[in-house]
Structures are given as structure tokens and as C-alpha cells.
Structure 1
Amino acid sequence: MRISQIQGLRALAAILVTLFHARLMPGGFIGVDIFYVISGYLITGLILREIERDDHLNLAAFYQRRIKRLLPTSAFVLIATAVVSWILLPSITRVNLGKDLIAASLYVSNYLFAWWQNDYQNLNATPSPVIHYWSLAVEEQFYLVWPIFILALAKLGKRIYLIVGISAVTVFSLIFSIYQTQTSPIWAFYGLPTRAWELGFGALLLFVPQTLLRSRIIPWLAFMGILFSSFRFDENTAFPGWKALLPVLATVLLIASINIWPPMFNDLSNNRVSQWLGAISYPLYLWHWPALVIPSAVLGRPLHISERFGCIALTILLAHLTHRFVEQPLRHKELSPRRIYEGALAATLISALLAVGITLTSSDEISIRGATTTKFSLSQVMKKPGVYGDGCHVNYGETKSGYCTYGDVKSKKIVVLYGDSHAAQWFPALNELATKNGIRLISLTKSACPAVDSPRSDQGAFKMVHCKKWRENSIARITELKPLAVITSSFEYFNPPANYPNRSLWWSDGQRKLLSQLSKSSAKLIYISDTPHPQRDIPSCLASRKSSSCDSTQKTPVRVTRGFDVVNPNPWLCSSYCPAIVDGVVAYRDASHISVDMAMALIPRLQAELAARGIL
């Protein structure tokens, strides 16, 4: 009964994650946490039973069983995903797929994807079709060290040492998770040290007497905890951290109270559909993400709800076939240790060869199909302004800009560029103008932190406390510099807090605060209103279809409070619509920022505006 109920929990976890990625359940990502608790419980139980039975643990046999259980299915789905991506995806969306495959096959992809996502500029890019392998990497890294740790504790001879040792690791990991979720949330999300406590809680379940929990309200409270997390958590929830305690403890309580589950819970978990979904939960998890992301990348747009349900149906079919013809036959097949290791090596080599092939055939060139074919360099289109490479553009967690000076660095005529990445997008043009006109340019920019002093809720890696401190430091520096002019711009599509009745009031309040802060510097205050928002990754779109299908009709309204001198770039980039290519130049390097080439092409227009205001 206990195993069948855990199988039902596996089914629940897989369904939650699938619904989350299909944008049908905002907190469905907690399915991964449910998986971790189950894994910690089961794997620690296997280790302890073998030690109790044989008075030792055969580590080689343990690793062989893990390889045989997990590798065939993960390698099969990984290779199939790579082949389909190679065939269907445009070169831009598979340019990084080669290294993603290597990282996934070596079970280190969690750190690769943490590094990739820690760059704010990548957040709007098409995600890797194998990014979900991060959770497998965490689990395999855990399996690598956990049996050695448990064996060492067991050798001490007393049960209390196991409890204390596992508890110590679990508590330390939880504390570190809470800390790093606040300081480096992306690394916290993907890292083993910040996830190990979830598996540790599962392991500690083995030391809880089955008769300890007697109140029949406990399973209901646990279920409500999972339900609440699934519907109330979302992508903006600081996670894992202390908030992950809710789904983790709920799962712990559900497993600990299995013997007193109400009949409804038993019926839901033990029916044939739930048991079948639990049995295919592993391939279901592996297939669901590529089944959702590859069609979206090919179509160049988010999937409609009917398409998402179609992808879920395809996922279930692929998972069933993989379970029947790959997972089960190989799992029950008698294989010598040598054959197991040879199979693991072969799977890794195939992944490596595919990675090399994908990398070698990925082109840096985008061919735009239209009346005539125009070619662009992908690396040039996606190039970031120089302040990024110089380390002068501040990223998440940082609160002070570097002392970077551009233009005519000896000039006493100072202009400051101040704002978020939508201010930094104008740096190439302003740097060129500053150099030619004897101006010293100081760049003070930070990702996701607009100069407009409007409060925001913490969102993922963005922390309002860091943004506020950076603004204070930047304003103090501007006041100290006493520049001729401050040129500022901000991304205008951030979400206001719930206590603001409307976006316009929220934005105008922030601009008035900014105006008051900058007025102390006695500088001319130039506000470049936000550029049009294309709402799709333009290079990806151009790589897969005609340029006209990548055009947008959405211009950004000019919302600038009185007191600023306004420069409106909308007419430079749009007429009756906003084309993806403006005068032969790709307008955007991603789904939000104008390209370096576009900024440089707009120098004459920007020069005229600044000259008219007495800055040049």
C-alpha cells in the first residue's frame, strides 16, 4: 500500500511540473520539491536496508543500479531532443545547445543554466530544450555523495549518529538555502547545497515511527499545503528558501501519515490511472519540456491553450512508449557491471558527438527571406553595449556602479547616463557622440533597476533593497559630479505593486521623485522615453521566418512628467507599425533592447536632439 501511494505522489509531482510549464498552474514547479522528498526517502531507505542486511554497502553496485535505473531513459530523451532540435530549430535557438547537451549528459547542467540565467539579458531569450535536466543533475550529484555519507555515519554504530548527521546536513542546507535565496536566488534555485535539505527531509522520514501521527486531519492539512503552494506560488516567489518549507513539509506529512490517509486519498492514488502516471512519471518529466518548448520556438510565439493541451497529450504518449520500450526492458535486463559502464560511456559519447555536430552546423548568419535575401551576423545582432563587457553595467545583487569613464576622459564637460538596461542600450551612440564632441561620459546603469524611483515587489533575482541602495549611491555620485546633463531612460513594463490604483500614477510618482533627486545636481535633465516593446525575441523570429512576420504594432506611450526634456525615439523606429528591420538594420538584439547597430544608426537623430538642447 505504501509503495502504491508513493507512486500516486510521483504522478502528482509530474502533473504539477507539466502544468506549470504549460502555464496552467502558477506554482506547479513545486512538483520538483515533491520528487526530491520522495527520492531522499526511498534512496536513503535502500542504503540503510542494505547496510543492516549485509553490514556494509557495496558502493559500486549502488552506482551501477542508479546508472541502470536512470541513464537509459534520460539518455534516450536527451538524444531524441537533440536530434529533433537539430532538425527543427533555427540556428540562433540551437547556438548554445551543444554545450547544454554536454552539461546535461554529465549531470552538471544545473550550474551551467544557473550561470546562463544569472545574466539578466538572457531572461527573454528562448530557453534550452534540455534546461529541465537541471533537476536530474541535482539528484545525481546527491546520489554521488549521499551513500558515502550514510555509510560513514552507519559505521559509527549507533542510530542516533545517523539522525544527528542527517539532521545537521539538512539544517545547514536549509539555512544556506534561505540565505542564498535572498542574496543569489538563481544559484539557490539550481544548486545542490541549497536543495539538499529537501532530500534530507525525505531521509529523516525513515526515523519517524509510523504510529507517531494519529490525527486524521494531518493528511488533509498536508494536501492543502500542496494545493496552496500550487496555486499561490508563482515565478516571482522567492524560492526555494523558507517558502519551500510549505510543499516540502506537506510532502513529508503526506508520506508520514500514509497509514491514516482518508479513503478519498487512497482512491485517488491507487486507481489505475494514477498508478500508470506514477509509473511513467520519470519519462513524463523528461519529455514534457521539449514537447512544449520546441513547438513554441518553431512557431516563434507562445503556444495557444489548445496547443499546450495537445503538447501535454503528446508528452503522455511519448512517456508511455519510452517507459514500455526503453525504461522497463533495460531496467529488468540482467547486465554485467562492465556492460552497464560501457552503456553509460556510449550514451555520453553519442551526446558529445551530437553536441559537436550541432555546434559545427550552427551558423552565425541569419538569412532574412523577403523580396530579396538579406544576411546578418547573429553575434553582431546580439552584441551587448560595451558597458557590459567592461564590467560597468551593474547586475543583480550589486549596489554600486564602477568608476568607468568614456568619451573624452580628460574633458571637464560631463554627461551622465543613468538608468536600467534601457538606458544602457543608448550607450554606444552616446559614447560615440561624447568622443566626437569633447564630452566625458559617465555610465551609471543597472539591470532591472529603472532610474524612475517607483517601488516594486521583489521578482526572482531582482531585490528592491539592492535597487534602492544602487539608486542612492548613483544619485550621490551625480550630485558630486555636477554634470552638464543627465540622460536617463527606463523600461516601462514593470508591474506596479498592488497598492497602486493604476500604472500611470505609479510611474508618474516615481518620475517626480527622480526629478526631485536629480534637480540637486543643477544638470540639464534629458529623458529618453522607452523604445517600442516587440514582445518577442526578434533575432529568433528573424532566423525562422520572414521579417514582416516579426514586425510589431505596439509603440510605447510617452509617459514623462513635466520638468524633464523629452526625447521620443518612437518615430525613429516606427511609422504605422514597428518593423523588426529599420533601414536595413535589425532593430532589436532580443525581445526588449535595441541592438548596438540600431543605436549607432540613430546617432544623427540623437545628435540633433541633444544639440538642440545645448548639450553638444
Structure 2
Amino acid sequence: MAIRTDTRPDVGGSTAFRGDIEGMRALAVILVLLTHAGIAFMPGGFIGVDVFFVISGFLITRLLVAELASTGRISLVGFYARRAKRLLPAAGVVLAVTLLLTYFYLPRTRWSDTGWDVVASGLYAMNWRLAEQAVDYLAADQAPSILQHYWSLAVEEQFYLIWPVLLAVAGIWAVRSRSRGRTDRFRLLLGVPLAVLAIASLAWSIHLTQTNPGQAYFVTTTRVWELALGGLLALLGPRLVRLPRSVAVVLGWVGLTTVVGVALFLEPTAPFPGQLALLPTLGTVAMIAGGPAAGRAGPGCLLGLRPVRAIGAISYSLYLWHWPLFVVAEAQLGELAPAARLGVMLFSVLPAVLTYRYVENPIRRAETFTWDPAQAIRLGLSFTMVPALAGVLFQFTVWPPNRSPLPVAQVPWVEDTASAPPSPSGAAVLGDHPRDSRAGTPVDRVGRITPDPVDAGDDLPDVYRHDCIAEGSDARVRSCVYGDREADFTVALAGDSHAASWLPALQAVAVANRWRLVTYIKAACPLIHGEIAWQGRAQPSCTEWNTELRSLLTGSKRPDLLVTSSFLYSPIRDEKQLSGSEGQSAMANGLRRSWSVLVETGVPVVVLRDTPHMNVDVPECVAKHPERLTKCSAPRSLALRAGGGVAQEEAADGLKGVHLVDLNDAICPGDRCAAVIGGVLVYRDTNHLTASYASSLAPRLRAALNDVVGDVARG
């Protein structure tokens, strides 16, 4: 979201107000709001942010060049003072209110992350925080941040720290050229650093979007070219007015059509920004370029209407407010229908108008800050640092006293030196016939829950702590060794994070059986033959990882037993992502081909059927409903059909040497899957077991694996 920059005359400038640009702001924010409202016909409305980037680059550069042309210099203090008083107060107010909304209306599981999000947003580094999370598989299933939208403000603020300085330096030579009567060279010299910046950033954007699309969406380096594009347009200056009217009219309407068309037809899963971002940005350039000469014959006849300009005037505050209100509404009411989402977006107009009238305008127009830029900077810094400090202090609300510590996983059949046996917990309370046990039936209240829902995200298998899991575009085969390192019998655990979820149980089995256990884990990557996609994006690194791993497992690192499991993915065939029954069959075929290669080389394969997939984020639900835990349960039939279990069953059917082990009766024993069993939280999100609960499954896993090893030994 671009900042709101006044287009009226400013220090050293003679720029005229353009109502059509105010209307472009309105168009951009409406596109964003419609997409966030889930309006089906507007899947690509997120490109409204790109429209804002171009507008901001154009307006800011125009003001700076006007100042340079009239005074021969750029006052950096004056520039930063204007930015501070116009942007930071509204942003700071929304950050402060967001902390209050989080405390009163969001589950405690989100408090810590929100506190750090406030810090990152207040310091205008939110885009880098989100970029880091975009390649973090552990964050993939988390609810979106209530401050997610601050990423675009961070991009712009970082650009504004660099561009005025570069322009001021370039202006030294440019002003000298102008003083010698070389006016054309004046703007050319100013454009050189901007053009270099734009070309380098665009090239990097195209590259990173192909190799790491999640990170590419947020980082500053892939977005700077969009602001620079607007800046280059601003350097054309008076030439825009001299465009032939017919050309300007065509430019304007083609630009508007392009922007709206991209918003209507661009799918959210498309690789973006990269070269696709050229469409909305060049469309915006065309609208801005054609505006002065086209007049009312161009898009300005629509964009310049008073109601449209009114929305453009509050676009900054509207953008700031709409997302926190939407996140709070969904946290309180559950997933909203598009009509309800749209209602939230419309409601956000109220705080936006109030912020514009009572925060933005009074501070921006205050004469004190105009005559004393240093005071304006101090004011802006206070609106930045106070919320950031509040975000740090907010962390203390997340750690209340007397919290129960995380337990040490108990394996009752391993020698214990304690005098009294531990009371059963987790799956141990289900007995020998889990489906007949009432201990697995969802109830509203339990005595205690381990781990605490706030800590559930950190209740992880050791491969995460030991850095033994490949993530993102990393195709290296990483491994760690557990159990008896000198044992003759080696078990390999290979697959995605669902395979890793079984590690706590398998570690206990390896210790008890004196096995050597080696892990080969890659996030979002099953042990499969063929290409797959995850969250709508192809995973070429997964194909590379599988190729190398197959070579190891059938060669020098061949284990005596392979254990694997996985989630459900979208296989790719002829560059098309398959879904539904076709995708499930393709997934089963890819798994079967991969397992067959191993079996043919003499490696027995144990497939642990995928765990039930819940329809809620379990820790968040439990934190929100500690006395209504039944709200956090899910129908067993639906939970078992979701995920990769059905494809695994189809893949293993009739395949000699492959043994399907299903322990889901001890994970979801009732007709509804419970969130807490035996005082232990079953899931750390919607589909991954907590390490604590996985540990409690160790006796059952040991029995199943011993049966398989016995069958293999008997031939």
C-alpha cells in the first residue's frame, strides 16, 4: 500500500494537484479491499499495491525534482519531516489500537507474534519479517498476521530513505549542467541512478520470483523498480502535457483497462511480482502519463469524480484499518462469507474517515511542523517508537506466572529409575482398544493441557532443533542420526514434515530396540517420483531432493528398513497442477513408483498412514475455548479423508514389500477427533502432531514395526 502523498505544491515545488491521481488511489484501495473481501470476480486485486507503488514513486520524485529545480538543492531534513508528519501518526495510532484489539479479541496463541509484528511494523521492517516467514514451513499453517498489510508501507519507507539521498547526489551534477544551459541533460542525469536501480531490481524480481516466490513477494529489492518506474515518469515533466490529445486519451484508457483486467483475471497463485508485475505497473504509468493531455476525455472523467476522489483522500487510513478489523472479525466469528467480509471492509471506512480528519489532517496542516522540520521528525519518531516499545512490552502478557512447563516425553516401557511409575498421559490412556475407550471422546474441560496451546508451535521434533530439515528451495539431503549410532540395524525416516512428526515416537523405538535411526526430511516434499506443487506453487527443489535421496537409499546409505509418511500434494503433469480425484490418483501413482524402486533394491518400506486433518487450528481454538473444547473437535470421517492417507492406501495396495501401518485409532479414537487426549494437546496446528503426543504413541509404533521386521525376517 503506497503512502498518501499530497499532490499540492510543496517546499520548492510548483506541482499542480491532479484529481485523476487521487482517483487512482481510490481504484487501488478498492481493488485491495475487494480481494480481501473474497469477491470471486476480483482474484487479482492485490495488484492495487503495485498501483500505489508507481503513484508514490511518481509523486515523490516530482516533488523532489521541483525542489531541486527551484532551489538547486534538496533538503533531506525537510523531506523526512514531511514524510514523518504525514505518514507516521496514522500508522502509529493503528498499531496501538491493533495491540488492544489483539489483547481483547485474538487468541493468546497469537499474542507473541503480534507483539513482534508491531515492533517490525513500527520500525518499517515488516516486509522482511514476512519474507522470512514465507520460506518457513512452520509458519505456513499459521493464521495471517493482523499487521500483514504493513509490508508495503515498509517497502516504501525503505525506498524513501535511499532515493532522496541518491537524487540529491545526482542533483549536484545535474544542477551544474542546468546552469550551463543544458536543461535536457539536467533530467537525464537525474534519471541515470533511478534507471540503474529500476533495471537491477526488475531483473532480480524476475529471478527471485522463479526461484523463491514466497520471499520475492515481500522483499524490498524485488519491488523498488515499481517505485522507480513512477520516478522515471516524473522526470519527463512538462513533456507529458505536450502529448497529442488523441495519444494521451488512448494511453489513459488502455492503462485503466490493463489494471482492471489484471485484477479480474490474475490468479493469486501466479508467480508474482516478476515480469507479471509489468502489466499493472505499466498500466498505471499509462494512466498517469496520459492524464494531463487527455483531460476529461481520458479516465479522468471517472477518476476525477468527487466521490471517487473522496475515497482516494482516505485511502491511506482505509488501507491501515481494513485488515486488522477483518482479522478480528474472523477470529471472533469464524470464517466469514464474502458478504460479511465486504461488510467489514465497508465498516472500516468509519475509523478511516475519523483518522483522516482528526489525525492526518491536523498534524499535516499544523504550521508549527511546517516551520520547524526537526519537531515534525521528533513527532513522527514518537509515533514510531512508542508502538514499537509497546510491542516489546506486550510480550510480558504472553508469559503469565505459574505456567506449566513442557513435559519430558514418558515412555513407560523404557527402564525408569523413578520409584513410582508415571501416570499415563496422551495415547497411553486409551488402552489396548482405543476405539472402545471413552478417554478419547471429546469433552469440554480437562484438568490440564500439555503443552500449553501458546507453546504448541514450539513442541517440535528434534530435526527442527538440530537443523536437519531442508526447507524452501534447499535441495540438499540433510540427515541426522539418533538411537544407537553403532547399531548394525539401520532405520531411515524419510519424507515431509508429516514424516518428521513421527520422529519422537521413532526415537523411543530406536532406543528400546537398539536401532540406528537416520532422518531425511524436506519440508513440503514427500518421498515421491515426479513433480509436485504445494500451496499452488511448483516445487522443483523437491524433485531434485528426491532424485538425490533415491540414489543414497539404494546405494551407499541403504537402510535395513525405511519409514515414511506424507501429506497430500498436487502432482504436476504436462505443466498442469492436478487436484481432486485425478490429483489423488496421480499422487498415489507417484508414491507407488518411488516405493517400488526401494523395494526392488531390497529395502522394506513402512508407510505410516497420514494423520487426520482437523478443520480448525487446534492450539488457537483450545486457547480461545478452554472450557468448550468440543468446539475444537472434527468429524473422524472427514478428518481421515483429508490429507494424504487415502492416496497412501491406494499406493500401497498389493505392493509387495510395502507395509501400511495405521495408528489413527490412537489419534482419533472417537467419532469426532478430540483436541486433547490424556491431558496432551494432540496437534500443534491443523495437521501436525505435537511432539508430546507423538511420543505417547511410541509403544504402539514399536509393536507395529517389530511385527514388520519379524515378517521381513521370516521372508
The question of a shared fold, defined as TM-score above 0.5 by the shorter chain, is answered with yes
Q: Offset of 1:263 from its aligned partner?
A: 4.3
Asked whether the equivalents of residues 84 and 379 of structure 2 are also in contact (C-alpha less than 8 Å), the reply is no
8 Å CA contact retained: 2:528, 2:546? no
Which residue is 2:156 aligned to?
139
Question: Do 2:532 and 2:569's aligned partners in 1 also have CA atoms closer than 8 Å?
Answer: no
Q: Which residue of 2 aligns with 1:173?
A: 201
Judge conservation of contact 2:447–2:679 (CA < 8 Å) in 1. Answer: no
1:581 paired with 2:581, answer no
Q: Answer yes or no: is 1:437 the counterpart of 2:513.
A: yes
Q: 1:354 aligns with which of 390, 393, 396?
A: 390
Q: Once the 2 structures are TM-superposed, how far is the Cα of residue 493 of structure 1 from its aligned partner? A: 5.2
How far off is 1:347 after superposition?
Answer: 2.0
1:197 to 225, 230, 235: 225
Q: 5+ residue gaps in structure 2?
A: 1-15, 175-185, 406-441
Give the equivalent residue in structure 2 for 1:465: 540
1:380 positional shift: 4.6
Mapped contact 2:120–2:388 kept (Cα < 8 A): no
Q: Which residue of 1 aligns with 2:632?
A: 550
- Pair 1:266-2:300 in alignment: yes
Larger radius of gyration: 2
Query: Per the alignment, do residues 407 and 203 of structure 1 end up closer, same or farther by CA in structure 2, a change over 3 Å counting?
Result: same
- Aligned ranges 1:353-372 → 2 under 5 Å: 353-363=389-399, 370-372=444-446
Deviations along 1:275-301, one digit per CA (max 9) or x if unpaired, are: 1110000001101110111221234x3
Equivalent of residue 45 in structure 1, options 62, 65, 82: 62
Q: CA deviation at 1:535?
A: 2.7
TM-aligned CA deviation for residue 217 of structure 1: 3.8
Contact 2:65 2:235 in 1 (8 A): no
* Structure 1 CA distance for aligned equivalents of residues 231 and 33 of structure 2: 26
Residue 374 (structure 1) aligns with? 448
Map of 2:373 onto structure 1 = 337
Give every structure 1 segment of 4 or more consecutive aligned residues whose post-TM-superposition deviation is greater than 6 Å.
Answer: 366-369
Partner of 1:21: 36
1:565 aligns with 2:659: yes
Specify the alignment match of 2:142 in structure 1. 125
1:509 aligns with 2:545: no
From 474, 478, 498, give the equivalent of 2:553.
Answer: 478
Residue identity opposite 2:709 in structure 1: G
CA displacement at 1:212 relative to structure 2? 4.5
C-alpha separation in 2, matches of 1:349 and 1:201? 31
Aligned to 1:306: 339
Counterpart selection for 2:26 from 2, 11, 24? 11
Residues 497-506 or 1-10, more deviating: 497-506
Cα 1:125–1:176, aligned 2, differ >3 Å: closer, same or farther? Answer: same
Contact 2:633-2:672 at 8 Å conserved across structures: yes
State the SS of the aligned residue for 1:593: coil
Which one-letter code corresponds to 1:239 in the other structure?
A: F
Q: Which residue of 2 aligns with 1:185?
A: 213
SS of aligned partner of 1:71: helix
Distance 1:329 1:615, change over 3 A: farther
1:191 maps to a residue whose letter is V
State the Cα distance separating 1:472 from its structure 2 match: 0.3
Supply the AA of the counterpart residue of 1:591. Answer: T
**Which 5+ residue runs of structure 1 have no aligned equivalent?**
none
**Equivalents in 1 of 2:235, 2:386: separation in Å?**
42
Helix, strand or coil at the partner of 1:441: strand
**Aligned-residue offset at 1:197:** 0.2
387-396 vs 161-170, greater mean Cα deviation: 161-170
Distance 1:498 1:346 in 2: 49
What is the match of residue 236 of structure 1? 269
TM-score by length of 1: 0.94
Q: Is the 8 A contact 2:605 2:659 kept in 1?
A: yes
**Aligned mates of 2:280, 2:534 — CA distance in 1:** 21
Cα distance in 2 for residues equivalent to 1:353 and 1:62: 26
Aligned to 1:612: 707
1:53-452 to 2 correspondence within 5 Å?
53-157=70-174, 158-208=186-236, 209-210=239-240, 211-212=242-243, 214-215=246-247, 216-258=249-291, 259-260=293-294, 263=297, 265-299=299-333, 301-334=334-367, 335=369, 336-363=372-399, 370-376=444-450, 377-378=452-453, 380-382=455-457, 383-452=459-528
Report the CA distance between 1:386 and its aligned residue. Answer: 0.6
CA distance in 2, matches of 1:449, 1:233: 27
Q: Deviations over 1:428-471 (max 9, x none)?
A: 111121122111111111111121335334757x5422110000
2:601 pairs with 1:524: no
Q: Report the Cα distance in structure 2 between the residues aligned to 1:549 and 1:164, rounded to whole angstroms.
A: 61
Cα deviation code 1:224-267 (max 9, x no counterpart): 32233213333322221111111111111121122337747333
2-structure distance, mates of 1:61, 1:212: 33
Cα shift readout 1:533-571 (whole Å, capped 9, x = no counterpart):
113211111100121101011222333222131112332
- 1: CA distance, partners of 2:300 / 2:364: 28
Alignment partners' CA distance in 1, 2:200 and 2:489:
53
Q: What residue is the counterpart of 2:12 in the other structure?
A: none
The more displaced of 515-524 and 389-398 is 515-524
How many angstroms apart in 1 are the aligned matches of 2:205 and 2:188?
A: 25
Matched-pair contact (CA < 8 Å) for 2:533–2:570: no
Matched to 1:387, the amino acid is V
- CA RMSD in angstroms comes to 2.3
Aligned partners of 2:531 and 2:542 also within 8 Å: no
CA shift for structure 1 position 136? 0.8
TM superposition shift of 1:530: 1.2
Q: Distance in 1 between matches of 2:319 and 2:250?
A: 31
User: Shift of residue 133 of structure 1?
Assistant: 1.1
Larger mean Cα displacement after TM superposition, 590-599 or 14-23: 14-23
2:439 matched residue in structure 1: none
Residue 374 of structure 1 aligns to a residue whose secondary structure is coil
Q: Structure 1 CA distance, aligned partners of 2:341 and 2:704?
A: 47
**Deviation sequence 1:171-212 (CA, Å, 0-9, x none):** 011111111222333332222221110001101112443245
| Partner SS state of residue 614, structure 2 | coil
Q: Does the 8 Å contact 1:91/1:363 carry over to 2?
A: no
Moved more, 316-325 or 223-232: 223-232
State the one-letter code of the partner of 2:154. A
Deviation, 1:88, is: 1.9
Task: Give distance in 1, aligned partners of 2:51 and 2:516.
Answer: 55
